[in-house]
Structures are given as structure tokens and as C-alpha cells.
Amino acid sequence: MTQDTAADGTRPKTGMVHHGRFLWRFIVFALPFWSAEHKWMNRGRLALVAALTVAQVAVQAGLNSWSARLYNAVEARQLDAFLEQIVTFVLLLLASIVVFSTSLYVRRRLQFAWRVWLTKTTLSTWMAEGRHYQLGLIAGDHDNPDGRIAEDIRVTTESAVDLGQSLFYCILLFGTFISVLWTLSGTIHVEIGETVIPIPGFMVFIALTYSSIGTSLALWAGYPLVGASNLRQTVEANFRFGLARAREYSESIALIGGDADERTHLQELLRGVRRGWESQTYGLVRIIVFTTAYSVLASPFPLLVAAPRYIMGFITLGTLMQMAQAFSQVTAALSFPVDNLSGIAQWRASVERVMALQDAMRRLQEKLGENRIEVTHEGDALHLAGVRVMEHDAVPLMGEITADIGPGEHVLIEGETQVCHKLVLAIAGLWPWGTGKVTLPVGANIFIASDRPYLPVGALGEAVCYPLTLGVCVPDDINSALRRVGLGEWTGRLGEVESWEHVLSAAQQQRLSFARMLLHRPNWIFLAEATNALDAAAQRDMADLLAAEFPSAAVVAVGRAGLFDGFLLRVLHVQAEAAPG
């Protein structure tokens, strides 16, 4: 039942108005790239792609004219003319190789430049001010942002250039060969009773009718493919995310014996992938059945239609072959929707996923403007004025709190852990939902330690120094910091590369967080359950370390009464709000 709902949600809307609205949204979405950094280089690449596309059509026109001369020479049994056409063909072949290969190179450079720009632009919004964290807290069509940034942006930019060039090529191809076909067709006379009706360029009308019927049938056959492509991309992304999450928490899953449950969950996600795959397969089969018949018929059809005029002696063999090729080029140009239906469906699904992510980030910014905790920098103390943390849907989590914390004070925030943790996030500006005002000291060097510090995959020295670089942190200082926090066994191993969150225990990771603190030298320290994996003696050691290394720093810790006994001399009580209902 859940999967059916998802499928229904991805069913494409139809109608020219909706398609036109989508194209307009894409134009607005794409325009900034052409005015961004390196705009003249990218505009030049686009102009060069357009010029090379014109050259491609010119080569095709040359080959069409050459085919007429070749078959006329064969029909007339003129060896000299035949050999001359072989030389001409070699020249046309070389020109085709140069034009098409250069076009490919320039087009790919343009595609990658667009992808890099769009990825950087999206990342600069997503990975800033904690927005990547906040976005996961609100509902909306923005699941798997990593997949949208990595894969959907790639498809969006590459397919847009490919489809755009293909469309331009087809327009030029149609304009070039429709006149050729009109000229070669001549005029036929149709007798209806005693009336004779002359029809000039009759092959043009046949080509237009043939293509219109084919395109209409193809659009009907490919209708389910748009929704199926969107659905499959969604379920594939969900499956990848489930696998990545299982790998990320593999130790916890193994320790608690959750292998069977996790396997069941992954198999359920795989069943969703299967449903998405089957839905797309159904759409592709419909398309393949039609396009196969269409492409097979396209080759002999113009010959069958024009052959009677050759048989009756009205045209030469060269003209017949040239006419057939011109007919094929016209129908090929008009069959752009047929040939690219699958690619258009995938491209549109990716575009909508990327735009949905950007729309979600814009909505997040708008949402942050409502019931937002104001954070400013002023003076030399921390002021909480009527601060009340809420859920993102404006449900209060705690009563109002007003307090001042001066430099050098050691304060314990006591209350429900999750609520206190969100209060610390609000002070840091990462949890904006609520009311009141937070005033931070001007120029405060803030360090927030959590119960599970982030450890990037890489060298141990980089993990300790993070988010600074090893160029800033001196190896001797890193080793000294590790010894001070009780991780002396890791000194001298700063160059070892591991997935440290799986190598180090929870207690060791928390000790490493204090080593970072020694390197960063903050004057405002927030501990959000940062020692809950340590025993009482180890917590006492960390308190002594803070007292010795940061005598003038303010320390604000979340925890229960008795934490750092004798070190946290002041307690702020946070009253949790009762859940409604």
C-alpha cells in the first residue's frame, strides 16, 4: 500500500500548460549559470557547440548530394565519375570525423563546467549554517540530498546540453532537408472524378503525416515512463541510503544483534527497487515495441513510396536515393520526441529532484523566519532573554529561560537531555525554531563537544585537528594533546588512515574531542553530553584538564546533578514543556 502511494505521487501531470510551466521553471533555474563566473568562456563554448552543430548538418547535406551523384554514376556506368565520388566521400568522411569529435569534446567541457557550477552552488547553500542538518528535520520532497547532488545534478546538466544540441540539430536538419525533399518530389497529379489536383512536394506531406502519427503513438506509448523513471530514481536512492546507513552503524547493529531486522529492512527497500524497476521496464517495453517497428519501417518506406516514379522513368536512380535519404532525414528530425523520450523522462525526473531540493532549502529559509530564536553578538557575556526552544512545527519543548553567563563561569544545564541539547544547538544557531534572543560575546571562540564527535575518514592527525588542517596543527602539539587526554597509545601514529569512528571506542572518541579542544584553544566551551561514555574518574580527569588549560574560559555543560562535581558551580534548570494531548 505504501509503495502504491509513492507511485501515485510520482505520476506525471499532463497538459501543455503543465509542460510549459516546467520548461519555464527550468529556464529560470538554468539562467544564472550563463551569468556566473567564467560566463564568457561558457557562452563561447555554447556558441561553438551551435556552430559545430550547423557544420554537422552541412556534412549531412553534403553526403545527401554526394549520394545522388554516386548512384547516377553507377546507373550510367561512368567509372571516372564513380572514382571522383570516392575521393569526395573520403573528404566528407574526414570532415565528419573532425566536426563530430570536436563537437563532442566542446560539449563535454560545457557539461562539466555547468555541473561543477551547479554542484558548488547547491553545496554552498546546503552545507552552510547547519542547513544540511536542519533540512533533515522538516518534511518535504528533499530526501537523499546526497544522491540529488551527486547523480541528479549530473543528469540534469549533461542531458540538458545533449538534448538541447540534439533538438537544435533536428531543427536545422528539418529546415535543410525539407527544402531538398520538396524540390526532389516534384508534382504529382491526383485525379478525383474529372478533376485533376496537382500536389507539389508530395513527399513532404507524406513525411509530415508519417512523423505525426509516429510521434503521437510514441508519446502515448511513453506516457508511463516519466513517472516510472522518477519512481525508480527515488527507490534506488532510498536503497543506497539504507545500505550506507547500515554500514555507518554496523558496529551498533552487530552488538545489539540487529542483523536480521536490518536485513529485513534492506530487503523491503529492495522490494521497492524491484517495483520501481518493473514499472520502468513496463514503460520501456511499450516504447521499444513501438520504436522498433517505427525504425524498421523508416528505412524502406520512402523507397516504397518513391520507387514507382523511378520505375516509370520520371526520376533517376540518384534522385530516388537522394529523395529517400532526404525523407529519412526529415522524419529523423521530426522523430526527436520519439528517439529521446526515455532520455527526456530521466532528465525531467532529475531536474525536478534538483529543483525540489533547492525549493526545500528556500522554504527552510522562509520557515526560519517564523518563530525564530534571534542570535546576535554583543558584549563579553552570554545572555539568554526569554529563550524558548520549539519543534520546527512551533510545538514548545520548554518553558522560557532568561539567564546571563559571564566569562570564566562554569555552568551546568540540568533538565531533560534532549531539550537541553536543543538549547545548546539554539545557542550555537543550529536550532533556530523558538522564541527569544541569544546574545553571544563578540569575537567568542566557541567549541561545542557532543557525545559522538565527527571523525572524518583519513589520517589520525587530521581527525584530531579537524576542522583545522595539519598545516595549522603541529604534530608535536597533536601528540601532546593526545597524551593529555589519555590517548597516549596513539601518539606517533598520526599518519595512519582509518575509519576512526569504527576504530575508536565511544570513550576514546570523547577523549579525542577534548584533544581537539586543546588544539583549538576556545574561550567558550559547551559540553553536550560530551562525557557520558566516560566513567566518574575519567570525567574528573577531563574537569581537571579544563581547569588547568582553560582557567578563564566559560564552560557550559549539559548533564545531571553531580557531573564534574565541584567544577560546575552554578546550575540552570530547564523545565521541559508537557507534550500536547
Average pLDDT taken over every residue of the chain: 84
pLDDT in tens, 407-466: 999 999 888 888 888 898 888 878 888 889 999 999 888 898 888 888 888 889 988 988
| Exposed/middle/buried for residue 82 (C-beta within 10 Å: 0-12, 13-18, 19+) | middle
Of 320, 340, 368, the last residue of a domain is 368
pLDDT (average), residues 454-481:
85
pLDDT at 581 over 60: no
Which domain range does residue 193 map to? Answer: 18-368
The answer for residues whose C-beta is within 8 angstroms of residue 39's C-beta and 6 or more apart is none
Both 280 and 406 in a single domain?
no
Q: Percent of the chain having pLDDT more than 90?
A: 27
Both 336 and 411 in a single domain?
no
**Which is more confidently placed, 506 or 17?**
506
Both 403 and 301 in a single domain?
no
Residue 382 in domain? yes
pLDDT at 11 over 50: no
Both 48 and 124 in a single domain?
yes
Both 120 and 236 in a single domain?
yes
CATH number for the domain including 266? 1.20.1560.10
Task: Please tell me the predicted confidence (pLDDT) of residue 471.
Answer: 62
Cα separation, 478 vs 460, in Å, equals: 10
> DSSP string covering 442-505, please?
TT--EEEEESS----SEEHHHHHHTTS-TTTS-HHHHHHHHHHTT-GGGTT-TT-EE-HHHHS-
DSSP conformation class of 34:
G
**In the structure grid, which three cell numbers stand for residue 427, read together?**
545557542
Both 47 and 156 in a single domain?
yes
Both 321 and 409 in a single domain?
no
Residue 9 in domain? no
Q: Poorest-confidence range of 25-39, 144-158, 195-209, 391-405?
A: 195-209
Of 342, 368, 394, the last residue of a domain is 368
Cα separation, 173 vs 54, in Å, equals: 9
| Exposed/middle/buried for residue 176 (C-beta within 10 Å: 0-12, 13-18, 19+) | buried
Residue 3 in domain? no
Both 345 and 437 in a single domain?
no
pLDDT (average), residues 264-293:
82
Task: Please tell me the predicted confidence (pLDDT) of residue 467.
Answer: 82
Both 380 and 450 in a single domain?
yes
Nearest to 202 by CA among 314, 64, 61: 314
Task: Please tell me the predicted confidence (pLDDT) of residue 410.
Answer: 92
Count of domains forming the chain: 2
Of 339, 368, 397, the last residue of a domain is 368
pLDDT in tens, 104-127: 999 999 999 999 999 998 888 887
Both 66 and 141 in a single domain?
yes
Both 309 and 401 in a single domain?
no
pLDDT in tens, 538-559: 999 999 999 999 999 999 998 7
Residue 481 pLDDT grade (very low, low, confident, very high; cuts 50, 70, 90): very high
Both 304 and 412 in a single domain?
no
CATH number for the domain including 515? 3.40.50.300
